[in-house]
């Protein structure tokens, strides 16, 4: 079994080492690099190309938002999981725009952190649906929609059905049941959606669809 390769970036050594120890106990997870500041995080991510990067927001030299913004275009298939003490909507919005796949508060327990890593690696969303709707609705009502500047391949009717359910927080299992599809078919549709939108997670896919004007506020409710 291939392990999920992870880089951990946090400026607090005790926190960083604790996360690394926690993840290292799991048979399917492997921490391949650590960073204590944003510049080092970018260098290590560029060098190691991990599957998942766990990134704090407040770091010296470059913050987590800028780290995410710089590494995602170069590592589009890598999932960025934000693990932070900040829960401000503006931070969440900026990180989603930068390409983060998940957002978890440091108050989460150890099992939540482990499952969040597995979830973002699988393309699942790690973001409370209520928070997601609040943040995404802000983009819908603002001038950030740039559909004309983002030439992407149109999604099929079925792919849009899958994406709309994903935007409401439905799991792949729930989507399969609601649309009378197999899990494998849903996974195939999600993979096609990711490929067409040039993203690596459902959070990014929903964000891009919102920016393109493909999803309305009602469809997120």
- Please tell me whether residues 145 and 77 are part of one structural domain: no
More confident residue, 191 or 150: 191
**Given this model, what pLDDT does residue 188 score?**
92
Please give the mean pLDDT across all residues of the chain: 84
Domain boundary among 86, 112, 127: 127
Task: Say if residue 143's pLDDT is above 50.
Answer: no
The CA distance from 209 to 92, in Å, is 17
Instruction: Please choose, from the candidates 163, 187, 203, the residue with its C-alpha nearest in 3D space to the C-alpha of residue 80.
Output: 203
Same-domain status, 142 and 95: no
DSSP state of 134: H
Residue 205's closest CA among 86, 120, 128? 120
Mean pLDDT of 76-83: 90
Give 116's contacts (C-beta < 8 A, 6+ positions apart): 81, 102, 104, 108, 126
Task: Over range 147-164, report the average pLDDT.
Answer: 77
pLDDT of residue 152: 66
Q: What is the CATH number of the domain that holds 185?
A: 3.40.50.2300
User: Which residue, 127, 151, 186, sits at the end of a domain?
Assistant: 127
Last residue of one domain, picked from the residues 81, 109, 127: 127
CA dihedral 205, 206, 211, 216 (to 10 degrees): 150
The reply to whether 146 and 164 lie within a common domain is yes
Q: 12 and 110: one domain?
A: yes
SS3 109: coil
Residue range 154-171: average pLDDT? 87
> Tens digit of pLDDT for each residue in 174-208?
899 999 999 999 989 998 998 888 887 787 888 78
The pLDDT value recorded for residue 128 is 61
Residue 53 has pLDDT above 50, yes or no: yes
| Averaged pLDDT for residues 112-138 | 77
Same domain? For 154 and 199 the reply is yes
* Structural domain containing residue 61: 4-127
Same domain, 120 and 153: no
Q: How confident is the model at residue 48 (pLDDT cuts 50, 70, 90)?
A: very high
Q: Are residues 195 and 87 in the same domain?
A: no
Q: Flag whether pLDDT at 121 surpasses 70.
A: yes
Q: Is the pLDDT of residue 93 over 50?
A: yes
Q: By C-alpha distance, which of 19, 18, 16 is closest to 36?
A: 16
Using the predicted structure, report yes or no on whether residue 41 has a pLDDT greater than 60. Answer: yes
């Amino acid at each position: 079994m291939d392990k999920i390769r992870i880089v951990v970036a946090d400026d607090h050594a005790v926190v960083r080492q604790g996360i690394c120890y926690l993840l290292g106990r799991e048979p399917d997870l492997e921490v391949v690099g650590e960073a204590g500041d944003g510049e080092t995080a970018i260098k290590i991510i560029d060098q190691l190309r991990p599957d998942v990067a766990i990134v704090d927001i407040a770091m010296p030299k470059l913050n987590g938002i800028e780290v995410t913004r710089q590494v995602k275009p170069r590592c589009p298939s890598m999932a960025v999981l934000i693990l932070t003490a900040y829960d401000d909507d503006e931070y969440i919005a900026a990180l989603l725009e930068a390409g983060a796949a998940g957002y978890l508060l440091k108050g989460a327990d150890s099992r939540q952190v482990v499952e969040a890593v597995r979830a973002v690696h699988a393309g699942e969303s790690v973001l409370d649906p209520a928070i997601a709707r609040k943040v995404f609705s802000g983009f819908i009502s603002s001038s950030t929609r740039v559909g004309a500047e983002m030439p992407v391949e149109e999604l099929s009717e079925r792919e849009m059905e899958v994406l709309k359910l994903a935007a409401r927080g439905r799991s792949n299992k729930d989507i399969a049941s609601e649309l009378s599809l197999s899990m494998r078919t849903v996974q195939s549709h999600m993979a096609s959606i990711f490929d067409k939108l040039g993203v690596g997670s459902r959070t990014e896919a929903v964000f891009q669809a919102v920016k393109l004007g493909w999803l309305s506020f009602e469809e997120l409710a």
